[in-house]
């Protein structure tokens, strides 16, 4: 259905099927597409009430940096399949508090992986199919440093971790099927 949505081809039969899905995440996803197809049309949206504004007052990136703790925030961008923070630089071995926020309509996660492992991990997640919802599209792997939950629209999660001791470019990615090509960033450890 996301494929249909990306090409703006409305498949009402498929939409109605998913709106009745026993899987709650699938229903939420279908409601998001329904919103895009029937309420987010520019002519309709111009009227006003259906527009959902991104909260511009919420800053992302490095929020604070003390000797003991670096606090960062990464959010999704509404109606764009991407994170608002494409890269961040932190000190090796530093304690990090990450706030991950999803104001976007689709469910998204954020997974930090070892250098060079982004595509392998993301592709592995797509093999889960519908079973992926049960594990938030995250498979156990030694290449994964941590993973958020699969967050629905409007949710956020705080993740505390220690930055890797080994410097390098650690990618972060959304492993929801089809998202990893655009929904990625780099956590640079120095
Ligand atoms: Cu995503």
Domain locations in the chain as residue ranges:
2-45, 61-189
How far, in Å, from the CA of 182 to the mean position of ligand 1? Answer: 9
Q: How far is the CA of 181 from the centre of ligand 1 (A)?
A: 10
Positive or negative torsion for Cα 123, 124, 130, 136: negative
Instruction: For the domain made up of 61-189, give the CATH fold.
Output: Immunoglobulin-like (2.60.40)
Using the mean position of ligand 1's atoms as its centre, give its distance from the Cα of residue 14 in Å.
Answer: 21
97 token code pair: 């508090």
How many contiguous H segments (helices) and E segments (strands) does the chain have? 5, 9
> What is the distance in A from the centroid of ligand 1 to the CA of 164?
24
Span from the CA of 61 to the centroid of ligand 1 (angstroms) = 18
Q: How confident is the model over 18-67, as pLDDT tens digits?
A: 988 888 888 888 877 777 776 665 444 444 444 445 555 689 999 999 99
Q: What phi-psi label fits residue 94: left (phi over 0), alpha (psi between -120 and 50 degrees) or beta?
A: beta
46 CA to middle of ligand 1, Å?
A: 27
What's the pLDDT tens digit per position in 93-128? Answer: 999 999 999 999 889 999 999 999 999 999 999 888
């Amino acid at each position: 259905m996301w494929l249909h949505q990306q090409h703006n081809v409305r498949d009402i039969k498929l939409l109605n099927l998913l709106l009745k899905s026993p899987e709650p995440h699938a229903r939420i996803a279908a409601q998001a597409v329904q919103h895009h197809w029937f309420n987010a049309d520019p002519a309709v949206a111009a009227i006003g009430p259906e527009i959902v504004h991104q909260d511009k007052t919420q800053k992302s990136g490095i929020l604070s940096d003390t000797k003991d703790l670096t606090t960062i925030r990464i959010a999704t961008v509404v109606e764009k399949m991407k994170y608002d923070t494409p890269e961040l630089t932190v000190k090796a071995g530093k304690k990090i508090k990450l706030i991950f926020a999803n104001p976007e309509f689709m469910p998204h996660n954020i997974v930090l992986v070892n250098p060079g492992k982004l595509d392998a991990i993301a592709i592995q997640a797509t093999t889960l199919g519908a079973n992926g919802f049960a594990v938030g599209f995250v498979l156990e792997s030694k290449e994964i440093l941590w993973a958020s939950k699969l967050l629905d629209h409007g949710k956020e999660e705080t993740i505390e971790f220690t930055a890797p001791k080994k410097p390098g470019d650690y990618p972060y990615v959304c492993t929801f099927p089809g998202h990893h090509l655009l929904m990625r960033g780099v956590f640079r450890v120095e």
